[in-house]
Structure 1
Amino acid sequence: MIFLILLNYRCAQCFEPFPDGIYFEFEGRKYCEHDFHVLYAPCCGKCNEFIVGRVIKAMNASWHPECFRCELCSKALADIGFLRNAGRALCRECNEREKAAGSGRYVCHRCHAMIEEGQHIKFRGDSFHPYHFKCKRCNNELTVQSREVGGELYCLRCHDTMGIPICGACHRPVEERVVTALGKNWHVEHFVCYVCEKPFLGHRHYERKGLAYCEQHYHKVHRDGWRTRFLLRRAQREGDDDPTDKRSPVDNEKCSNRRRPHN
């Protein structure tokens, strides 16, 4: 009996007394700390130390919770999960970036998911899904047509009414070089001759009755206009019909007959 009692206070592996009375029990048998670790405790895949307590089983190995981390950003993965990528344990954000790098797509700086081609917006130098933001002025959800002004994001409609010049031709904001003429603002390529529609591109233009002309067509319009006014004034003095009417006397007679009522 005494022999059995003594055995109960010794390690089942090395038969040495338990230091300070501390032991580990497994399947009804008691072990000292060293032998218990050697026999049963898993070894961490990173620090190679025995694991006592919570064990993370992943990537065909065991890990201390604090040792199991993303191989790219070192974020702890024990409580957030991981994704396997080329034999590496990665957090979701790093995994999305790695996938995007191979596909040429952008990764959203907020949700870390890939963004469909042509569906991202740039804000303070980073790429985002537009639906993460609302317009600073109207509070509506943004689309890819949003604009950044002064470190804030605006929908296109609000942006166009913020004092930014609006083109008199296309009615869109003029965000680069602006031409001011005829009391309006214009994109350089949209400020054109009224007749030939060729852009002036910084060359001289001529204004007449609220319209812009190149030199050639300005002189032509001015000359034709002067001739018309001269003929009208002469006709008024002489009591003639409209001198700008190019029809022949026969045509005029036909028109008079059409207007004459039938008996």
Structure 2
Amino acid sequence: MLGSLSSDLSKQGVRTPAKGNCAACGKPIVGQMVTALARTWHPEHFTCDHCKQELGNKNFFERDNKPYCEEDYHNLFSPKCAYCSKPILDMVTALARTWHPEHFTCDHCKQELGNKNFFERDNKPYCEEDYHNLFSPKCAYCSKPILDNYIMPSRAQWHPHCFVCIVSDAASQNGGSFFDHEGMPYCETHYHAKRGSLCAGCGKPITGRCITAMYRKFHPEHFVCAFCLKQLNKGTFKEQNDKPYCTVASRSCLADAWQRRRRERLDVW
């Protein structure tokens, strides 16, 4: 239309000076024109270099001195989301990849991470809570994740405040000493109770010599006659009513027992 108008005006003696040559077709521009990328264009020739859609007054993007509509520019050149593979306009950069903010989520709970702290495992992001629940070492006592200091006396790990006797919940005594039984910590008393090495006389642990008698263990000095309290030796005592007696005391005890039974019989008669 503009070309016909220019021709008609020229025939009538009216000068229609050209405004430059079109960057697309190379022909002179008379009438309306588009100025972009430091060049001039016929409006119908200023099109997206990819889809050839007229750009007109639309937003456009430039790449290698060529115009592109917004959709094609992002599809062709914008970074792609590591989750959905679609172009990213507003993005998060993490793990050497780019993401839509709504797609950068914890791999376990799917919560958006945004600007929160996150942890990486096998090139996947995790929120702090899920990372520790899934991958941090667990305390052998409370089974909760260990995030800071820990005690590792054997194969297991413990929170310092959880490293207590497994029976009594008492903290380690004697400067932090403890006794291990089947991978679990015990205070001295419960350790020996578990192993059957408490003295049947005083109830305290036996750490040295001991006497085993009547299916129990004794400190040598606590294995005494139940009647005269004389110290006994294994093999030189008599057992009566689950109590040890020396030979002399056992005869006396038997006599006393016979007299008691005799009196009981007389009382009955």
TM-score w.r.t. the length of structure 1 is 0.42
Larger radius of gyration, structure 1 or 2?
Answer: 2
TM-score w.r.t. the length of structure 2 is 0.42
